Amino acid sequence: MPDERDAIESQVPEQTQGLRLIKPSHVATGFPAIVRSIKSALSQESVATMARTWTHINQDDGFDCPSCAWADPEGHRARFEFCENGAKAMADSATSARLTPEIFAAHSVEEFSRWSDYALNALGRITQPMVIRAGSKHYTPIGWDEAFTIVGEQLRSLRSPNEAVLYTSGKAVNESAFVFQLFARAFGTNNLPDCSNMCHESSGLALTRTLGIGKSTITLEDLESADCIVEIGHNPGTNHPRMLTSLQIAKKRGAKMIAVNPMAEVSLFRFAHPQKPWQWLGNGTALADLYLQVRINGDIALVKGFIKALFELEDAAPGTVLDRGFIEHYTSGFDALEQSIRSCSWESIVAGSGIALPEIRQAASMLAASERTVVCWCMGLTQHHNGVENIQEMVNLLLLRGNMGRKGAGALCIRGHSNVQGDRTMGIWEKMDDGFLDRLRDEFSFEPPRAHGLDTIGAIHAMADGRAGAFISLGGNFLSSTPDTPTVARGLSNMKLNVHIVTKLNRAHLFSGGTTLLLPCLTRTERDVQASGPQITSVENTVCKVSRSEGRMAPISTEVRSEIAIICGMAKATIGNRLAIDWDGMTGNYDVVRDAISHVVPGAEEYNTRVRDGDGFYLPVPPKERIFKTDTGKAKFTVNPMSPIALEQGQLLMTTVRSHDQFNTVIYGLEDKYRGIKGGRRVIFMNVDDMNARGLANKTLVDITSHFRGQDRTLERFQAIEHPIARGCTATYFPEGNALVPLDSVARGSCQPASKSVVISVVRSANQKVTNEALDEHTRTIS
């Protein structure tokens, strides 16, 4: 079996001779996005399949995009309502490549461990259930009934239900997520870690503390009608490209845009709509009116600067800047905030943010002139030790001018995976409130466990320390999406049982101590026919709207099953007749699941009717109505101290980022057109002054070591690449850089991995030799 070193895909050396620096695109999307979308689709599917998927994605009679969670336009849809990333996700799902038992027989898991994530994904869809048992080197086929029997026997053999960990990926639809949490709690555990633990746990906690709900407070139309938009801690062109259309609409209506990012990302500056040919020529639409290249983890200092400058403007013209009526009627904590801000020196703000005072004041003047402001953020704010405080400071900024519960104003927490927010709404959380658990009890006639379960970091510790014995994953790539990769591999290898509900092979499937099952499921693009006929499912997007999804393509194999059928099959084999839960009824008709959701989930009443009505419905978000269900009954100002990371001589800060050719852990290709990289991913982006100080040139091989509480982690032979990133800051690709992220380096309060502010040192590799071996991607060996 592979060992922990094999878990680090980035220890597989890139073909350094193949990595090339290309001219970066200077405009986001445009006509080249169409060309790349078609090329990606036709490399994996037929013209007919491409046409069917392209005309049904994000349409009322089709399926939801399996990529990001961006909202669909209200009342109108483009004929092709998706982006380049969506096209790649569809092609990846609808690929003609098949990972058959014959391929599994030809390659051991140890061999697979030497392949890159890109190569593993390119093997295609798994066609039938597979198993690998203790001591075996190969996956072999297994029948569904036997697989379910193994799950039931292994789970019942645990000393406690709390030795089981049930993880959820954001790709799971609402119905699957609801049934999965029901299975976990009926079995007797709240161990329900999910990918939200790693992306927006800080947002959820901060927004709940300050506004009373951990979700965005705006609609798509609010964003498009804003006077000023603050884009902070995210890169729309790579991570959620359809957002660029809304930004373009806002700009044409006269909105101002402030972009804040350590990296000068192309999509913050210019965008050409790929479906509007007249925009293909020239430089597209200018987006950012002001770009502030903040230092990594300098966001609180910067926003404190905005607020301090707003106070100065209010002092100069009392009653013209702050919304005193809103503050007095709807908020608490203002006096403490004001005292804290006024006591902050400009010197500490400038030093902490890396932004000059005139630029801070320019931004504040733009905010003061705006009657309707939206602040948008993603993981660039949440994945820090002070991630919760980062979001709370954004809320402070919005509350000062009453930008909450007003058209064109509010907080936009940009969710990543397509249904990560819906999964949490459905009960995928290790500490759901008693109200939810009471309603679950009343609906299904059993007493759910009340003790809080394990989040993702807690689950990894339990798995690695021997306190867990079974791991079940509803989608996702647990190994590659989490920090401290070797520790996660050790945890998976400790399990008596690993179960992965999957579509494709990934690195997490290669580490097994006892029995590991791969249970292949349908994708959203595929027809789902059960006993009662064709089924629909549903998802919740980033602005809290629920919509239906219905696959249109034929399943890839008669041996793949729906997520709900698999979950209910495992539950029935595990729980049996101990509880009066109709697992077969839920499998046969998803309306049964939605009826239960309507009784358990607040705001989901009459779910079956409303999800079929037009283009869906919004779940309640009280702050939209200026209702704040906090402990004070008001929106809360908070005092958030600047807590800069102390660096020793020669140390830098590292963030992890996606390339343009990937979505989360799925690698579609080896080109990052916006950053000028082609043919490899084993790179570290650095400021030119930091490179010069270390005697490095472009493509110099370097070793990267992270430092945390006396622990060092090293990745060798990355190529240093000059990039317009803030001085003292660096970036590596996710998931290659994950092995450098310490498991216990987390955000205070939310326990979210601090993957965006890792302390590192960079030194020139001893061996600068570039290999001349022309090895295929999938046959590269570990150095």
> What are 682-740's pLDDT values in tens digits?
999 999 999 999 999 999 999 999 999 999 999 999 999 999 999 999 999 999 999 99
521 - beta bridge partners?
Answer: 561
In angstroms, the CA 633 to CA 333 distance is 12
In contact, 495 and 511? CB cutoff 8 Å: no
pLDDT at 774: 30
pLDDT of residue 246: 92
CA distance 418 to 403: 27
- Of 470, 502, 514, the residue nearest 136 (C-alpha): 514
Q: Whole-model pTM?
A: 0.94
Place of tokens 């009608």: 225
User: Which H helix or E strand runs over 385?
Assistant: none
pLDDT at 714: 96
Edge to edge, the sheet with strand 285-286 lists 28-29, 270-272, 285-286
- Taking alpha carbons only, the member of 667, 507, 666, 670 closest to residue 16 is 670
pLDDT digits (tens, 9 = 90+) for 319-331: 999 999 999 999 9
Name the nearest CA neighbour of 396 among 205, 206, 622. 206
Is the distance from CB of 673 to CB of 754 less than 8 angstroms? no
| Rounded distance between C-alpha atoms, residue 299 and residue 386, angstroms | 10
CA dihedral 199, 200, 202, 203 (to 10 degrees): 150
Nearest CA among 274, 278, 221, 271 for reference residue 250: 221
Residues 223 and 365: beta-carbon distance below 8 Å: no
Q: pLDDT value at position 52?
A: 75
Q: Supply the DSSP symbol for 7.
A: G
Chunked into runs of 10 residues, the chain (783 residues) has average pLDDT values of: 66 59 83 75 79 75 74 72 76 88 97 92 96 97 98 98 96 96 98 95 98 97 97 89 91 97 92 72 86 98 98 97 98 98 98 98 98 97 97 98 97 87 96 98 98 98 98 96 96 98 96 96 94 96 92 94 98 96 98 98 97 91 97 98 94 96 88 92 97 97 97 96 97 96 97 97 89 35 23
What per-residue confidence (pLDDT) applies to 280?
A: 66
How many other CB atoms are found less than 10 A from the CB of residue 16? Answer: 19
Query: In Å, what is the CA distance from 15 to each residue of 12, 91, 702, 775, 781?
Result: 9, 26, 15, 8, 11
Angle between helices 144-156 and 563-575 (to 10 degrees): 50
- Report the phi/psi class of residue 363: left, alpha or beta, with left for phi > 0 and alpha for psi in -120 to 50: alpha
Residue 283 falls in which region: left (phi positive, over 0), alpha (psi -120 to 50) or beta? alpha
